[in-house]
């Protein structure tokens, strides 16, 4: 079976969930080979093997941390030359998409971004994208070179499939441009102790109905009671009530949690584009005609300032 390169998104060897999703999808089109760049490959290897990596190609060098994405592109190019894979899969993160675009250019391949599903095809992997605010899905494949594909988080549920996952060193020669942009400082985002939005099993989001930054405490209280991440509609973000990193929707993040709670959100198509694949959707809205109710599994017509705190108390009491 052909090998499929999977770029490992990690922090010092702690593998992030989107990588496990990529490994799961990769198995549909070949044998996943994980490419781990930077420190921590030995720590990551057992997890990568558990989710089906037949091999881990590892490279560690200060360049990966000290410079922006180009050293990683050089490394992936070396991996492509070493393996001749059926495809290269990366997460659809800001970094993943930049690496993917540069890699595709370097190796003269086609690229498909923001894929939500992937299957094997007679002439190469067939990728599904959700376009025009999720109004249509398209299927496409790369017709030139090794397909470079970025996949949106939460497109597949990670499934284990234990494999060998032995670590092999990958020899990388950095090109002239690798050290073109040096990282001068990193400022970790203040931790809220809540899960990352795109990886959370439960998301509680607030919209214009929350009516003020200070009122987002109501949303956060329910999120904390449920162990959830906090999301926001664009209206709430544009009003400056919550940071853009929490925006859900077409121009925000795509989430697909087990449970999505929308409070004071009307359900505009651009918001739905980012959450409509959630497994169970609950909405609280005082307008019984709000379009979000067309989408929900459970809907509460009422004032969120009465309903949400009651919900929080009920969850806490259990
Ligand atoms: P509104 O549509 O104003 O809805 C507020 C809701 O709150 C209403 O239904 C109201 O009944 C309810 N409400 C008010 N008070 C209460 C209360 N006390 N209790 C209960 N309910 C109450 N939007 C996104 O969310 N994400 C995106 O990524 C995004 N991208 C966009 C990209 C483009 C190109 C465009 C054109 C638009 C985009 N939008 C996006 C904006 C989108 O069209 C909507 O304007 C936005 O989603 C509306 O946010 P909202 O539902 O919070 O506000």
**13-17 mean pLDDT:** 95
The lowest-confidence range among 8-12, 63-67, 128-132 is 128-132
User: 255 CB under 6 A from ligand 1?
Assistant: no
Q: What is the DSSP string of 110-129?
A: -EEEEEEEEE--TTS-EEEE
Look at residue 124 in the predicted model and tell me its pLDDT: 94
User: 304 CB under 6 A from ligand 1?
Assistant: yes
**Helices (H), ranges, the chain:** 17-26, 41-50, 62-66, 70-83, 94-107, 216-226, 234-238, 269-272, 304-317
ipTM for the predicted complex comes to: 0.99
The lowest-confidence range among 58-67, 82-91, 133-142, 164-173 is 133-142
Q: Which residues are registered as beta bridge partners of 230?
A: 204
Whether the pLDDT of residue 126 is over 90: the answer is yes
Look at residue 188 in the predicted model and tell me its pLDDT: 84
Q: Which two tokens stand for residue 215?
A: 């009122």
* Residue ID of nearest Cα to ligand 1 atom 33: 270
The lowest-confidence range among 99-103, 151-155, 225-229 is 151-155
Tell me the best of 208, 239, 255, 290 to mutate to test the pocket of ligand 1, counting ligand atoms within 8 Å of each CB and taking the most.
Answer: 208
**Phi, psi values for residue 233, rounded to 5°:** -80, 165
Q: How far is the CA of 236 from the centre of ligand 1 (A)?
A: 8
Tally the C-alpha atoms within 13 A of residue 63's C-alpha that lie toward its C-beta: 20
- Nearest Cα to Cα of residue 53 among 35, 32, 37, 36: 32
Look at residue 155 in the predicted model and tell me its pLDDT: 85
User: 264 CB under 6 A from ligand 1?
Assistant: yes
> Tens of pLDDT along 28-62?
999 999 999 999 999 999 999 999 999 999 999 99
> Tens of pLDDT along 53-70?
999 999 999 999 999 999
Cα separation of 98 and 69, whole Å?
7
**Which atom of ligand 1 approaches the CA of 232 most closely?**
25
Largest CA distance in the chain: 61
> Which helix (H) or strand (E) covers residue 175, if one does?
none
Q: How far is the CA of 242 from the centre of ligand 1 (A)?
A: 13
User: 254 CB under 6 A from ligand 1?
Assistant: no
Confidence category of residue 215, pLDDT binned at 50, 70, 90: very high
Whether the pLDDT of residue 133 is over 80: the answer is no
Is 277 flagged in the annotation as binding?
no
- Nearest Cα to Cα of residue 167 among 33, 59, 40, 56: 56
Q: How far is the CA of 271 from the centre of ligand 1 (A)?
A: 7
Look at residue 277 in the predicted model and tell me its pLDDT: 83
């Amino acid at each position: 079976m052909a090998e499929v390169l999977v770029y490992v998104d990690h922090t010092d060897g702690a593998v992030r969930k989107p990588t496990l999703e990529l490994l799961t999808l990769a198995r549909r089109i070949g044998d996943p080979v994980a490419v781990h760049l930077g420190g921590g490959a030995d720590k990551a290897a057992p997890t990568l093997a558990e989710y089906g990596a037949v091999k881990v190609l590892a490279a560690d060098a200060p360049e990966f941390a000290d410079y922006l994405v180009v050293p990683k592109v050089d490394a992936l190019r070396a991996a492509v030359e070493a393996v001749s894979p059926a495809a290269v899969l990366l997460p659809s993160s800001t970094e993943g998409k930049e690496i993917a675009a540069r890699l595709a250019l370097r190796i003269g391949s086609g690229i498909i971004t923001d894929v939500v599903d992937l299957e094997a095809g007679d002439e190469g992997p067939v990728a599904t994208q959700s376009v025009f605010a999720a109004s249509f899905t398209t299927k496409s494949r790369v017709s030139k070179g090794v397909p470079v594909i970025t996949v949106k988080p939460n497109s597949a549920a990670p499934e284990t499939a234990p494999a060998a996952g032995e670590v092999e060193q990958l020899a990388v020669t950095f090109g002239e441009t690798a050290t073109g942009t040096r990282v001068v400082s990193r400022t970790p985002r203040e931790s809220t102790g809540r899960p990352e939005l795109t990886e959370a099993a439960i998301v509680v989001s607030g919209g214009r109905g929350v009516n003020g930054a200070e009122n987002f405490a109501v949303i956060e209280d329910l999120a904390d009671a449920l162990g959830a991440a906090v999301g926001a509609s664009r209206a709430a973000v544009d009003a400056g009530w919550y940071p853009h990193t929490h925006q859900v929707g077409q121009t925000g993040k795509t989430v697909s949690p087990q449970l999505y709670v929308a409070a004071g959100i009307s359900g505009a198509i651009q918001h739905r584009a980012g959450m409509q694949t959630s497994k169970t959707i609950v909405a609280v809205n005082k307008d019984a005609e709000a379009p979000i109710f067309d989408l929900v599994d459970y809907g509460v017509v009422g004032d969120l300032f009465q309903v949400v705190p009651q919900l929080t108390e009920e969850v806490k009491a259990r």
